[in-house]
Amino acid sequence: MTKLMLHDQAMGLRKLPSFQAPDSARVFTIAGGKSRIGKTSIVVNLAVALARKGRRVLLIDENPCHNNICTNLGLRARFDLLHVIYKDKKLNQVLLQGPENIAILSAMRGIHALNKLNPLEQDWLVRSFSELTHSVDIVLIDTAIAGTTHVLPLSLASEQVMMVISGSAASLTGAYVLIKIMSQEYTRRHFLILVNKAGSEAESFAIYQNFYKVARQYLSVTLEYAGYIPNDERLRSSTQLCKPVLETYPSSQAAICFGQVVQNILRSSCPDKYHGGIDNFIQRLIQTSHLSMANFMV
């Protein structure tokens, strides 16, 4: 990776392939500074690419029901994280099964309830997720667009944040503001950058370099180029069909680029403080929910 100092809901995980789990799952949040940047489609296709490399993937979806991962895949979630928090359902009962045995968790309502949990409820949630320790290698989070004054806790708790940008001024401005808030108010210093809707690899890297130069001048952060996704009509066509482009057009330039991005993010290093697996991630998520929601209320 180039471094520039940058369907059945009840089935859940039971159909995930069983092989030896790694020491801990890696957790990546995919974020964007504006709506309609193509973030959800990116998350779905990255998950498929990871699954085809033998990784067992959990998608956590924070977006509203009209524009989320389930909609993107033609699925319907009857239950979500809030049902687990209230002990109405166990975690494996609320997980949807997507393509390539990907597990999908709808989490928007549950995330907003985290800062209200008492210690017993917090412990229950951590123990619920610890059951996934031997079933999940990679967690990808499709975080909601939070606006320019608030950072959602999923971004703060993740091992890595990958910011999706394009050449549009609104995309670049929104991404810059989010990185500024996370770096200056929450001391997150490292970000992966993915350029979407690029005309070519050269164009994508030029967009990245210009963004990097501004961030380097005004922010104390490290940006890492994760790759690009081309402006490919076959990707849009696949999205309309509620299918990943890796399934409908596996030889397309978009599908090839998703494979390259996956190679890059798997090679990215994990900061020491984020080691410890999925249960440690949930503990961090609960802690950051109090911090970020408190700042949101100010």
The mean pLDDT of 276-289, rounded to a whole number, is 88
The mean pLDDT of 250-263, rounded to a whole number, is 97
193 backbone dihedrals φ, ψ, rounded to 5°: -120, 125
Domain spans in the chain, listed from the N-terminal domain onward? 26-297
Q: Which helix (H) or strand (E) holds 208?
A: helix 201-218
Residue 282, annotated ligand binder? no
Least confident range from 84-98, 133-147, 175-189: namely 133-147
Q: Is the model's pLDDT at 13 over the cut of 50?
A: no
**Residue carrying structure tokens 């949101």:** 296
More confident residue, 34 or 168: 168
Least confident range from 79-83, 142-146, 176-180, 253-257: namely 142-146
Total-model pTM: 0.88
171 backbone dihedrals φ, ψ, rounded to 5°: -65, -45
- Quote the tokens at residue 30: 């995919």
Q: What CATH class is the domain 26-297?
A: alpha beta
Residue 98, annotated ligand binder? no
Q: Is the model's pLDDT at 50 over the cut of 90?
A: yes
Q: What pLDDT, on a 0 to 100 scale, did the predictor assign at position 61?
A: 95
Residue 35, annotated ligand binder? yes
Residue 259, annotated ligand binder? no
Residue 26, annotated ligand binder? no
